[in-house]
Amino acid sequence: MKNKFILVAALAIGFAGCEPEFENEVNAAYSSGEADFTRYVAVGNSLTAGYMDGTVCRVGQTYSYPNLLAQQFALVGGGAFTQPSFAEDVNNLGGFAGSPGSTRLIIDASQNRPEPIAGASTITLTPQAKAYNNMGVPGAKSFHLLVPGYGALNPYFARHATSPTATVMADAMTKNPTFFTNWIGSNDVLAYATSGGAQADGVTPAADHNTTGNVNPLTYGFNDITNSTYFTSVYTNIINSLTINGAKGVVCTIPSVTSIPYFTTVPFNPLPAEATSSNPTAIGLYQFLAAVSGGRISPLRTAAGTKNPVLIRDESLTDIGPTIQAAAASTPFAPFAASLGALYGKARHTTAADLIVLPASSIIGQVNTAGTAPFNVNGVTLPLANKWVLTTTEKARVAAATAAYNTSIIAIATTKNLAVADMNAVMNKLVSGLKIETNSIYTANYFSGSATEGQVLFSLDGVHPNARGYAVIANEFIKTINAKYKSNLPLHNPTYFPGISILPTN
C-alpha cells in the first residue's frame, strides 16, 4: 500500500524562484542606536548556518538569518560579514562528496514526492582553517562549542576550524565581536525528539539527563537530553566569552518541537480504511488483539472514508506478551502464538497525543522486508519502532528540558542586559497563525496545497526554515534589536524570498 497523504499534497506547492529584494535604499532615519555592528558574529547550530532542505548548500547559505541581518547592519555602519565558503558547491546540491543521500531535498513533481536532488556533491572536507563571522555549526549542542578538537567529530566545523584543537567559541572570539547573536541549545533536546526518544527497538533508549542529574557530557549519546544544570553552566560560559569585551547582542529561546512540521505533518491516523480493509490478516488480527490487549489496540476501521491509527511499540507499557501468546494458542493464529506475544506485547495504537516523525511517512503501510509475512506491514501488522514516534511521556521530557533551558537563557541574558528574541513564542504562534507587518499570515501547515503554499516557512526537512522562513526570523531579530538598543533597522519583506524547490523531474 502506498502512502500519499503527504506526497500528493506536496505536488501542489508552486515554484518560487524570485530573488529577494532588500530594503537597502539609503534612509537617513536608519540608525544603529546603542548597538555597534562593526564586527558582528553569529554563534549557533544549523539554524544559524543557513541549513535548509536537509543540508547546507551554496545558494541556501546566502539566506541564513545572520547574513540577512548583516545586510541590514551594513546600512548603519556594520562591517564585512563572512560565512564558511561553499564556493566549491558548483551544482548547488549541498552535502559532502562521497556521502550518498545527503544532498538537498526537492519536490520531484513527476513522482509526487520530496527526495534528494539527483547528482553528486562537489563539496569536500578540504580544511579552510579560517574563522568566520557566521560560526553556526550544524549538529552542535551547547557544550560542543567549548570542546577542543570538535572538528574531529563534526565535518562542518572541520572544514573551517583554525586548528585541529580549536573550539568553536575560541575561533568565534578571534573576530572580536562588537555585536553578536547566539541561538544555541536546540540540539540539546531536539536530537532526542527527532529520534523518537530512542534509537531503535532492542537498543538502549536515549537518556533524559535533565532528570537523571548526569552532568558529565562524556557519557552522553548524541540523542540524549542535556542536563539542564549543565546547560546553564555551559551557556553562562558562552555568554561570558561573547561579552568579555563589552559586546552587545541577542540571545534566543529554544522552540518547542510541537510547533515544527517534523512532528506535526504526519497525522496519528494516516491509514485510509479503504486500504487497510483489503488486508484480511489485519482485520482478524486486530479483532483478536482488541479482545486481549485491554484497550491498547482497537478493531480495524473498515467503513469508507474513515482512517486508522498507526500501530506502534511503546516501551513504557507493561509487556502483555505472555497473555497474547496464551490466548493465541486457541485461535487460528496458534502457529504464530510466540511471535504474536513478542510482536504485540508492548504494542498500541497511536492517539492524537502522539507525534509521528516526518520520515515515517515513507514507510507507513509499506511491507518491511526484514519482517515475517503476514506480520510485516509497517504500522499495520508490524508495530513501528520507538524511533518513529514521540510518545506523550517523551513529549513531557522534551517540554520540561526546553522550559528549563529557556528559563536559564532568559536569566543569563538579564544579568548581562542582553536582548532576548523569544523564538519559542514565535514558533508556537505558527500553530494558529503568525501575522507579520505586511499582513501576511504564516503557519506551520506544511503541505496543504496551493491555497496556503505561500505561507509555508519551513523547508522540506521539516525542521529548518526555507528562505522565506529565515527572512521572518531575521525580522524577529531586527524587531528585538530595535526595541532593546533603540536602533532603527529596516525589515525584510518575506514575500520576496523563495519557498520550496520543485523540479519537473529529478
Q: Which residues contact 9 (CB under 8 A, 6 or more apart)?
A: 447, 448, 449
Tell me which residue has cell 551547547. Answer: 142
Q: Which residues contact 75 (CB under 8 A, 6 or more apart)?
A: 24, 26, 27, 30, 489, 490
Return the pLDDT at 452.
62
Superfamily of domain 7-264+392-503: SGNH hydrolase (3.40.50.1110)
CA atoms within 13 A on the CB side of 198: 20
Return the pLDDT at 11.
30
26 neighbors 141 (Cβ within 8 angstroms): no
Round to the nearest angstrom and report the end-to-end CA distance of the chain. 24
Helix (H) or strand (E) holding 396: helix 392-415
Give the tens place of pLDDT for each residue, 458-469. Answer: 888 989 999 998
Q: Prior bond to 267 cis, omega within 30?
A: no
124's grid cell: 569536500
220's grid cell: 552522553
Give the tens place of pLDDT for each residue, 130-160. Answer: 999 999 999 999 999 999 999 999 999 999 9
496's grid cell: 520576496
User: Distance of CA 70 to CAs 103, 154, 474, Å?
Assistant: 27, 26, 10
Domain extents for the chain? Answer: 7-264+392-503, 271-349+355-389
Return the pLDDT at 212.
76
User: Looking at 261-304, which runs of residues are DSSP E strands?
Assistant: 271-272
SS (H, E, C) 318-363: CCCHHHHHHHHCCCCCHHHHHHHHHHHCCEEECCCCCEECHHHHHC
Return the pLDDT at 451.
59
Widest pairwise Cα distance in the chain: 85
Q: Which residues contact 29 (CB under 8 A, 6 or more apart)?
A: 488
- For residues 136 and 182, give the distance between their C-alpha atoms in angstroms, rounded to a whole number: 9
List of the chain residues with pLDDT < 50: 1-24, 201-202
140's grid cell: 552542535
Return the pLDDT at 199.
54
DSSP for residue 26:
-
| Number of residues written out for the chain | 506
Phi, psi of 263 (to 5 degrees): -110, -10
CA atoms within 13 A on the CB side of 267: 13
